[in-house]
Amino acid sequence: MIQKTTIPSINTINASRKWHFLDASGQVLGRLASKIAVLLAGKHKPDFSPHIDCGDFVVVTNTAKLKLTGKKAEEKFYFRHSGYANGAKVIPYKRQMQKDPTKVLWLAVKRMLDDNRLRDRRMKRLRVFKDEQTQFTVKTNVEKGK
């Protein structure tokens, strides 16, 4: 029995990219982020390969209505460091949701993807919006004149 491995071409990958529109209202943050990470990486496709960027586009609305389970709403925080002495910043989850709820979901998805050269390309295909009233344009290769 002959088994051959086929690698899809870039043209077929770009032609097979789909748009997924998700509503985040009432959804749990981690469960939604893991679904988005699978769609961005392309793991739901039969021609998935870890070294090829074959994922889809994802648009998420109503991120202000995300929820967490248990006591995470009070206990969760976001940590970052500037690199300087005393440069640590700790932001509680509730304050981050008031300031920018899109960043909460964006960080959750980013941290679920593999930390490699493909992550930035995959994250560019994610659009996150605070509420339902959003307008964005979908630019394909045909519209760009390519």
Locate the domains of the chain by residue range.
Answer: 13-68+100-133
| % of the chain residues with pLDDT over 90 | 75
* 123 Cβ contact partners less than 8 Å away, ≥ 6 residues apart: 40, 106, 109, 110, 113
Nearest to 104 by CA among 114, 94, 113: 94
Beta-bridge partners for 91: 78
pTM, whole model, 2 decimals? 0.87
User: What span, in angstroms and rounded, lies between the C-alpha atoms of 104 and 89?
Assistant: 15
Q: Tell me, what's the pLDDT at 4?
A: 83
Q: Which residues, at least 6 apart from 127, have a Cβ–Cβ distance to it below 8 Å?
A: 57, 58, 59, 60, 136
- pLDDT tens digit sequence for 64-108: 999 999 999 999 999 999 999 999 999 999 999 999 999 999 999
**Can you point out the beta strands (E) in the chain?**
19-23, 57-61, 77-81, 88-92, 126-128
Q: Report the distance separating Cα 125 and Cα 91, nearest Å.
A: 27
pLDDT at position 132 is 84
CATH of domain 13-68+100-133: 3.90.1180.10
Mean pLDDT of the chain: 91
